Homo-oligomer: A and B are copies of this chain.
Amino acid sequence: MNDRADKKTARATADQVAREANVSRVAVSRAFNPNASLKPEKRDRILQIARELNYTPDMAARSLVTGRSHLVGMIVPDVCSPWESQEIDALTTALQAEGFATLLFKAKADFSMDPRLLTYMRGFNPDSVIAFTENILPDVLCGFLDRAVPIYVIYDDVAQFAGAASGTLYDRLLVRQKNGIEQAVALLQGYGARRIAYLGGKAQSLANAERERTLKETLSERGMDAPIVLSGDYTYDTAYQATLDLFRIGDGADAIFAANDVGAFGAIDALRHELGLSVPEDVKVVGFDDIPQAHWKSYNLTTVRIDLDERVRALVRLILMRLRAPDAEPFTETLNTRLIVRGTVG
């Protein structure tokens, strides 16, 4: 009749383990806390009995008293995006190894941040938050998380730590776009490309801005013309259409530099299947990210790679450090990029 009685086997509690092992409940707690002082043989016996009873400490109860939830919240607008899903995958793996679980929240499709979502999320008391977003000011996030929760905002591939108390930015995980872009431009120039188009990502994206700036700078340094800038939003369809417009309304280009790989795919398909141009003979294409699909033979994309593993390792290191020492000195790490040469340029 009673709802609780219905459950065939309720979860074992520390008290039950303690009773079974003839020790106090505190000893059970200590058995699961490696650095607590407990006689080794006693710990072994407790852990043995705990295993028999299928006991695991309740994280909610533990969280209540320690103030640590061992949860890392992730706010993601689009889990399906190849780049983001890769990042979620790698982050979850790395955090899991450190004893943290991923708490996944879906933001609105237009990247706007729903205040109710943040309020709701705060209820779970995440130890840290990673927000994948473009057009949100860190202040908005900080306002909702009033505890000193380290928040990392990932603008495409630039991560910044936003201090909750002050709203100012501290740690930064940057990507040195220069290397990869320079290699790409050199390659394009070597093959005689003159008119270069930049097919942009989301306008508010920090990474997009940095890529555009770096491309302009590099072209200028090499005495080449400034790029034709097309606006985009990182999606296949928009890139496809922008490419059509470039050649039908505009004057075309020798080469297209896309802000991400998916955009490059859209450009390639527009060129080959609708404009009747061939890649790389007529138009050369370079992407950004090196997602798994980039090596698919239909695209075989030459692209600027950001090492995902290195990136995720650095980010996790940052988070753990911040968690351990909330007031540590601001920290900036910069990752390199390099060109992966495949078949869409030469």
Contacts and interface: CB of A to CB of B under 8 A. Distances in A.
Interface of A: 4, 6-12, 54, 56-61, 63-64, 67, 69, 71, 74, 78-80, 82, 85-86, 88-89, 92-93, 96, 101-106, 117, 119-125, 144, 146-148, 164-165, 236, 240, 265-266, 268-270, 272-274, 292-293, 296-299, 326-327
8 contacts: A59-B124, A79-B92, A80-B82, A82-B82, A92-B104, A101-B120, A103-B103, A269-B296
A206 B64 CA distance: 42
A273 B342 CA distance: 14
A89 B79 contact: yes
Nearest to A4: B67
A82 B296 CA distance: 14
A70 to B, nearest CB: 8
Contacts of A266: 296
Contact of A298 (B4, B10, B298): B298
A105 B78 contact: no
A104 B88 contact: yes
A144 to B, nearest CB: 7
B292 A273 contact: no
- Copies per complex of this chain: 2
B80 A292 contact: yes
B88 A58 contact: no
A61 B7 CA distance: 21
Contacts of A74: 104
A56 B101 contact: no
A88 B96 contact: no
A125 B80 contact: no
B79 A9 contact: no
Contact of A269 (B61, B240, B297): B297
Nearest to A108: B93
A124 to B, nearest CB: 5
Contacts of A120: 56, 101
